């Protein structure tokens, strides 16, 4: 099988990460990579890491060309994918959106957080949230996949075993999460300049971050009802990585939490439950489509602390999108995604 792939918006960090993974994928043929700003430029001239791996130029978006693909990835700003997705779906093309256009089930909630009306609520209603560890079977049959955000991936994977088993007070969940600067995207902005972000550490989005409703939606589905979540993101002076430290109050402090996590994720190829007492590091997942998790109960009390780390550009974005593509086309889920993390 050869999968013909299109990428809309291939010049950002998520786009080039998609290219890095897909050019090594044994079943993929990259048909078209669009960029309005870089049309006509060779991809490898802008991203020299792809020299010798990818012999294609960026082109202006052309819906006719995209309709010739088997699957189209949108690595675009919010609000772009929903403009073209109906036409692509009608043409039989699978759509995987790495932005937020199809993540929130309620169009009114979408408009509240993203400041624009949703342009295809019917397609939104059928879109599948692409967290394979939860929705694997639905993903296989989907026409539109909403690839999860980076913070939501780390936070949900960390909390899910506890919530699914009803072991914690879901009214008082806390997610304290840190991200590298690449999470802000590849564009000029003062607060992510080297001299602004280096040697510093700050919280942001405390009154409300756009990933909050996405995380709450996923955790509520697992809980079977609304959850109370305090989510505080932070910017740390590193390029890649997310570290989520998650807190919840146990209803019964006597259960074997280590066994719970090992059982829940024992057959998941991209979730690694660390040995008891360990502390996963972001560098241990750099460049890999992997979430590493450790679970702690400090001083044997009734507070559980879960540590969850991912590479925000891989399991938090492009790698998870390729994982979803593999499921869509009946391939082994790990195809093209068995890269070992980079150290140092």
Contacts of 45 (CB under 8 A, 6+ apart): none
Contacts of 8 (CB under 8 A, 6+ apart): 34, 61, 66, 72, 73, 74, 75, 76, 80, 81, 84
DSSP assignment string, 296-339: E-GGG-SEEEEEEEE-TTIIIIIHHHHHHHHHHTT--TTTT--P
Pairing of strands 291-296, 303-310: antiparallel
Q: Report yes or no: 234 and 178 within 8 Å, Cβ to Cβ.
A: yes
Is 120 catalytic? The answer is: no
Catalytic choice (69, 120, 150, 291)? 150
Distance CA 67, CA 34 (A): 13
CA distances from residue 188 to 94, 124, 177, 179, 182 in whole angstroms, order as listed: 32, 31, 24, 18, 12
Distance CA 32, CA 34 (A): 6
DSSP state of 57: B
Q: Counting every residue, how long is the chain? A: 344
Compute φ and ψ for 334, nearest 5 degrees.
-90, 0
Compute φ and ψ for 306, nearest 5 degrees.
-110, 130
Alpha-carbon Rg for the chain, nearest whole angstrom, is 20
Cα 326 to chain centroid distance, Å, stands at 15
Coil, strand or helix at 198: coil
Pairing of strands 71-74, 3-8: parallel
Just list the catalytic residues. Answer: 150
């Amino acid at each position: 099988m050869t999968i013909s792939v299109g990428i809309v918006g291939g010049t950002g960090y998520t786009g080039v990460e998609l290219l890095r993974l897909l050019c090594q994928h044994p079943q993929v043929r990259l048909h078209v990579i669009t960029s309005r700003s870089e049309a006509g430029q060779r991809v490898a001239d802008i991203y020299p890491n792809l020299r010798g791996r990818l012999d294609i130029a960026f082109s202006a978006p052309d819906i006719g060309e995209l309709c010739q693909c088997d699957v189209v990835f949108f690595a675009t700003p919010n609000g772009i994918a929903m403009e073209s997705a109906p036409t692509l779906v009608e043409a039989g093309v699978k759509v995987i959106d790495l932005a937020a256009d199809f993540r929130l089930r309620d169009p009114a909630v979408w408009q509240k957080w993203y400041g624009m009306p949703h342009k295809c609520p019917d397609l939104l209603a059928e879109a599948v949230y692409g967290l394979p560890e939860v929705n694997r079977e639905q993903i296989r049959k989907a026409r539109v996949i909403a690839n999860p955000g980076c913070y939501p991936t780390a936070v949900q994977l960390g909390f899910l075993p506890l919530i699914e088993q009803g072991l914690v007070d879901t009214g008082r969940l806390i997610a304290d999460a840190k991200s590298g600067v690449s999470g802000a995207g590849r564009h000029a902005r003062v607060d992510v300049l080297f001299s602004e972000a280096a040697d510093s550490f700050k919280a942001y989005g405390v009154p409300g971050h756009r990933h909050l409703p996405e995380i709450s939606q996923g955790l509520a589905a697992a809980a079977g009802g609304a959850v109370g979540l305090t989510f505080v993101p932070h910017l740390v002076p590193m390029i890649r990585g997310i570290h989520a430290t998650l807190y919840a109050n146990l209803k019964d402090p006597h259960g074997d939490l280590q066994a719970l996590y090992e059982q829940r994720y024992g057959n998941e190829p991209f979730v690694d439950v660390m040995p008891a007492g360990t502390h996963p590091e972001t560098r241990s997942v750099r460049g890999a489509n992997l979430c590493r998790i450790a679970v702690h109960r400090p001083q044997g009390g009734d507070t559980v602390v879960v540590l969850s780390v991912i590479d925000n550009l891989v399991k938090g974005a492009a790698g998870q999108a390729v994982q979803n593509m593999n499921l869509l086309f009946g391939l082994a889920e790990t195809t093209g995604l068995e890269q070992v993390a980079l150290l140092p």
